Structure 1
């Protein structure tokens, strides 16, 4: 295919229209404008291949097949929220929205037809249809490289998946718009994708506090009593989530308050707010026959129901208007702060099957397949628009998503509960413009409880979801001080976290990043070459698969928070682990231990600590741990902590923390700098705009620290 058919559409972004794509797509539904100025600031390099190397074949009724060249060592990341592996090279990804994936097929709560390569480029298919990506998992005649075809009976090294020279993408029958994003690094390709989608989400400050979801059938008085217990026990908490019982009926839902459990919703929300708690409401898409919306939504809904409830077609403006009008009146106007949008994914991978089928018909003309792929995005956009109409930011939870979700203020979650998979998902989400919470629900032991709570406090949304188990942060009394410490530590780090999210919005840099986004292929290889870590080479597992299961370390159990902190969680039964440290000097964030980076280090930690590392020269903005996040107009003392002996530069972002005025210029960026003086001391300076919102004061400094000072 000639290069001229790939049209530049933004700095470092090219588009090819294949066929005649029809209907809504993720990009067209979200409708965000690319952040062109930020895209222009990225290096303007072409992708590491010529466009003439891309192949396109028509495949009859099956649509089109687009192929991209791969080199032998190339690694591919992304494809959305994936739980089973990080490097998708050699895998076929069937990217259908589906809940609770327990097999490594590509199906997921949030399958995104976008992959990024460690050669420094990304590929997106903008389609509401299911896309299948063969990411180096197919071989054509003549493809087998020298020595790849082996006799399994006689020769060692036989592989079930040979090294393919191409990635093949099966496009829908009507075609699709396909985009290529230049790097030149993997991280810059991902940033470019996020910026093209409109930039990342910037939550309100309260969204970065601690969340607690109460049991399903709690009443207003029970929810308030439990919330006040947080204050009595000195546990910070910003958000209380109500589960299905707040509805007059659920499964399917009415979106109306139950008059017995919540006789005066406005008073309840107001009283919770007076104590410093925001309210988040659970809901799902399927409308009960007893809902006030049912009669008007029925002709605007699909041909099939779910749990006896309507599946409205919210791509029809009249349907979306009805939903938003009712939610505005009953929820947003009385002070509700956000939603948990559950079960917009469907299920065929669990013990039960529920969802409208692919052949369902909808008034807009979309079929069930495309509606299901879009459903999570529909609700994210509608609810975000609803809060925007009040000049309010929201932050919520979502069970399904797709491409173009970077600017949506929603965090994914799952009914799965494998701790290791939860950490892997946190890293994998960062390749595809997604956010993920490794929420805590219950534990097998006090140790498991601590390790899960430590992890969630270093995630996009720190939440205890007690909807079914009734757990509290203090459920294991013997470890209460540890749990309290880490929730408070998160509160101390709010300025740092908020600044990381601001970079996500304005520069496309994910606030939580997998290791391949911060270390190059060569840096990882050099670190691993520094010594063989016992038990972490290639291992042949003959138990899980007839073809063997040869695995190698992917470093998918550690991640970066912002630019300066590296988190390496421990799991139940562990007291030590190996950590891949990027080049440079690092310190134990709480221990002060010094480490030489650019290598693998062995670290140990007692139950009271999660291994967290901070760069030499890092400057971390902190505030005192308060019961809740600072509110608009409040001023909080700020302390910059400089680590190590190297000179350092850090950034701080601030705005009012609640409204969208930041998008109209009411914001500021400040630079904190520390440098050595000729007499061996340090000079610390803070510079920035004098006329911008600044919620901090007085400002103090701690210099040349090796660990975070105690409050």
Structure 2
């Protein structure tokens, strides 16, 4: 970032070298609205915008006439206010991102004109927005500076209580703005970008915005919401950007767009949250509620709820990059059964094709001579098969000519048609065009053939990026890039549910609405303590962005420093296993050996923890049901249960696992960590020790066989009382409940089969 002395220009990416901007870009600022009227069930205001001088300071260019644009207000129920403005562009009423719940009905708004303010009210007479038309109070004693420029002053009350103020006067003096109420950037005389700013309180905290690999409170950060290959979990790049944030002031903001965005969370100005969207439309849903869970619930009412994944998906998944043959897979699966490691899914990554990484959606006929028999044999042994693939087509792929001739894939502007390699969509000739219904059906048919063999899950890898130098049937590439993951995962999910009977994918990328198509995992984490910590941070923020089900590669995807060949330490393998057991889904995957018998010094501990995972499945299923009807994810940031506890807005290395478990993974080789216990009475899950919450446990020690996990006193935990090889052997009617009370002496003593 190149920092100048003009914070708002920096936020807008506006070049203050005016020789580069002359006649190209201008900033227009919103002024006081001049008219208000009924518009269907909503209200519309006429807002004039004043062009600013092309200078290094803000000042109105009075030589250019103001331009009027229409600002629309609509209410969805009594907790959501939609604020929209299209600068000569149509606002989307229907989009893939929205799946508005039937019970979330639009209600009628009206308005009342008062002397110095306009009030927008709902049918109950509750004020939902105020537009202040008064002038700032001035005690004039100096004329050294010009008077404040006219500015739109608005307060939005999505629930009639929570005030969300537009930042009307975030400035040092009138010509030096830190943020601007509502503005747009004009390029070549056409509106191109829109910005809005909301007032931020000094101690206000922010979470969400997708998969953030950083601290819990996002205040003081700026993010570019542009999906990219994250290349790990320890940087600002991310696979899943979600244009939604949640404030500690108990409101949520969803920016309904697929365009590239920028969110400044009280960063460029500590007084303002600033949004910049790279299209001439602003369409936001403001949510006011009593607590974070209810805000998340309202957000999911707008963008959709997930369905509960099938029982088998909660068992252990085994994978590595990659298995190459039927014989290799059978040997691994047979050995895990022989050595009493329960497992449900075997995943074949990039090596099941004729050529590694060359995705053609067909098994190698030499190494997998009879795929249907292969899949059937595994199913008889209690294993289901998951397959890797990607949405990019290589020039030497079998389907290339068909896809090109029928325009099922993007058509590159350049004539260069690349072959396939790995780790980048740009190494491929084109991207499947999911904006084209015929291409969607063609892709589904590729998967249908595999699913009819008995395959149960498709790993919808990649999808964070597309070929931007290409043409797509129904969308500009800049608007498709972020949305692509949703269209891609929807197609795979639908055909899987149709053929296999269970709706499930294993997905990496994400945008608003993708939570409808579980399961998502956290990408290519380093097999290190840093990778483990970054994974958890990303999962917590994703859970605060509407996603209910989430996983990660145990014990990290790639080695450090040798990407493919570094040895995974025993203690990291165990500690990451424990973290995986207390996650909605658990999958082992990486660039080298991941099967537990390759780690003989710890394999007995791993086996014990896998059996604990299967014992916990009734509880996990119970909590999974909740995420389909509430705002809760399975893996929850502490703030969802303790929003009034300021400490919980900062903790990113602990979490609730469902309603009852408090989990604090060990993420070092010292077997100790500091643990924060919120208010309540907690029982150690492994020792039965009871402790009063509202305190820190400093340097808490946990031997390798145990993990810092507490359960709410009095909780009833449904558990499975028998050892199984896989979920096919489970009869959930046998489920028992363990009461966490003074008689509870630790889980190992209650489950004698482990």
Shorter chain as denominator, the TM-score bin is: 0.7 to 0.9
* 1:618-671 deviations in Å (ceiling 9; x for gaps): 1100003544553499454111011126xxxxxxxxxxxxxxxxxxxxxxxxxx
Q: C-alpha distance in 2, partners of 1:427/1:25?
A: 30
2:460 to 317, 325, 341: 341
Q: 1:504 to 1:25 in 2, by over 3 A?
A: farther
What SS is found at the alignment partner of 2:488? helix
Change (3 A) 1:508 1:628: farther
Q: 1:313 to 1:37 in 2, by over 3 A?
A: closer
TM-score scaled to structure 2, two decimals?
A: 0.73
Shift of 1:574: 2.6
Partner Cα distance (2:205, 2:352) in 1:
47
Deviation track 1:151-181 (CA, whole Å, cap 9, x = no partner) reads: xxxxxxxxxxxxx221110123231421112
1:483 to 601, 606, 616: 606
2:638 pairs, out of 515, 518, 525, with 515
Corresponding residue for 1:461? 585
Report deviation, 1:36. 3.0
Q: CA contact under 8 A between 2:337 and 2:725: conserved in structure 1?
A: no
Matched, 1:604 2:701: yes
Pairing 1:547-562 to 2, within 5 Å after superposition: 554-562=650-658
| Residues 38-67 of structure 1: CA deviation (Å, up to 9, x unaligned) | 999xxx944621567784222323411111
Counterpart CA distance in 2 for 1:619 and 1:247 is: 47
Shift of 1:201: 3.8
TM-superposed CA distance for 1:364, in Å, is 2.1
Preserved contact between residue 639 and residue 645 of structure 2 (Cα < 8 Å): no
Unaligned runs of 5+ in 1: 140-163, 347-354, 528-552, 646-703
CA distance in 1, matches of 2:359, 2:506: 17
- Paired residue secondary structure (2:535): helix
Which 5+ residue runs of structure 2 have no aligned equivalent?
Answer: 1-32, 37-41, 44-71, 108-157, 169-180, 413-417, 419-425, 557-566
Shift of 1:615: 0.3
- Counterpart check, 1:302 vs 2:302: no
- Which of structures 1 and 2 has the bigger CA Rg? 2
Match of 1:366 in 2: 476
Change in Cα spacing, 1:615 to 1:22, as seen in structure 2 (3 Å) is: farther
Name the SS for the 1:478 alignment partner. coil
Give runs of aligned pairs for residues 278-677 of structure 1, distance below 5 A. Answer: 278-298=384-404, 299-304=407-412, 306-328=426-448, 330-346=449-465, 356-357=467-468, 359-367=469-477, 369-390=478-499, 392-417=501-526, 418-434=531-547, 435-441=549-555, 444-466=568-590, 468-520=591-643, 522-525=644-647, 554-602=650-698, 603-631=700-728, 634-644=731-741
Does the CA-based 8 Å contact 1:251-1:288 persist in structure 2? no
The 2-side partners of 1:244 and 1:102 are apart by: 19
**2 CA distance for matches of 1:437 and 1:26?**
33
Query: Could you say what secondary structure the match of 2:545 adopts?
Result: coil
Aligned partner of 1:58 among 137, 160, 184: 184
Report SS of the residue matched to 2:318: strand
* Residue 167, structure 1, aligned to residue 273, structure 2: yes
Q: Is the 8 A contact 1:206 1:628 kept in 2?
A: no
Decide whether the 8 Å contact of 1:38 with 1:507 is kept in 2. Answer: no
Q: Summarize deviations over 1:186-231 as a string: whole Å, max 9, x none.
A: 2221222123322234111111110001452421121112111111
By relative contact order (CA 8 Å, sep 6+), the higher-ranking structure is 1
1:12 aligns with 2:71: no
Task: Give distance in 2, aligned partners of 1:390 and 1:31.
Answer: 26
Deviation at 1:437, TM superposition (A): 2.1
Distance 2:657 2:227 in 1: 28
**How far apart in 2 are the matches of 1:307 and 1:208?**
34
Shift of 1:325: 1.5
- Determine the C-alpha separation between the residues in 2 that align with 1:210 and 1:23: 47
Query: 1:107 deviation in Å?
Result: 3.2
State the alpha-carbon separation in 2 of the partners of residues 37 and 597 from structure 1: 38
Residue 206 of structure 2 contacts residue 265 of structure 2 at CA under 8 Å; is this kept in 1? yes
1:180 corresponds in structure 2 to: 286
Match of 1:680 in 2: none
The CA deviation string for residues 583-613 of structure 1, in whole angstroms up to 9 with x for no partner, is 1110111111111112222321111111110
| 2:363 alignment partner in structure 1 | 257
Q: TM-score, normalised by structure 1?
A: 0.77
Change in 2 beyond 3 A, CA 1:391/1:190? same
Determine if contact 1:96/1:106 at 8 Å carries over to the other structure: no
Encode CA deviations 1:57-85: one digit per residue, 9 max, x unaligned.
22323411111221111100011001122
Is 1:114 matched up with 2:210? no
Describe the superposition over 1:504-550 as per-residue Cα deviations: whole angstroms up to 9, x where unpaired: 01223111101121212x4245x9xxxxxxxxxxxxxxxxxxxxxxx
C-alpha distance in structure 1 between counterparts of 2:735 and 2:283, whole Å: 47
- Relative to 1, partners in 2 of residues 1:104 and 1:643: Cα closer, same or farther, differing over 3 Å? closer
SS state of the match for residue 566, structure 1? strand
Q: Is the 8 A contact 1:38 1:506 kept in 2?
A: no
SS at the partner of 1:83? coil
The alignment partner of 1:502 has SS state of: helix
Instruction: Name the CA shift for 1:486/1:102 in 2 (closer, same or farther; >3 Å).
Output: closer
CA 1:22–1:362: 2 relative to 1, 3 Å: farther
Shift of the 99–47 alpha-carbon distance from structure 1 to 2, 3 Å rule, reads: farther
The answer to whether the Cα contact below 8 Å between 1:643 and 1:707 also exists between their aligned partners in 2 is no
1:378-425 CA distance string (max 9 Å, x none): 221001111232372233322211112222112123123211111222
Match of 2:324 in 1: 218
Shift of residue 554, structure 1, vs aligned partner: 2.5
Tell me by how many angstroms 1:482 deviates. Answer: 1.2
Please give the secondary structure, in 1, of the residue aligned with 2:517. Answer: coil
Please point out which of 248, 253, 259 is paired with 2:354: 248
Q: Which residue of 1 aligns with 2:125?
A: none
Q: Cα deviations across residues 76-118 of structure 1 (Å, max 9, x unaligned)?
A: 0011001122211111111111112579875310011110011
Point out the more displaced range, 276-285 or 79-88: 79-88
Q: CA deviation at 1:23?
A: 9.8
**Equivalent residues of 1:32, 1:197 under 8 A apart:** yes
Q: How many residues align?
A: 587
RMSD of aligned Cα (Å): 2.8
Instruction: Note the C-alpha offset of 1:459.
Output: 1.2
How many angstroms apart in 1 are the aligned matches of 2:574 and 2:388? 26
Q: 2:334 aligns with which of 213, 228, 233?
A: 228
Query: What is the SS of the residue equivalent to 1:119?
Result: coil
Q: Distance in 2 between matches of 1:383 and 1:138?
A: 40
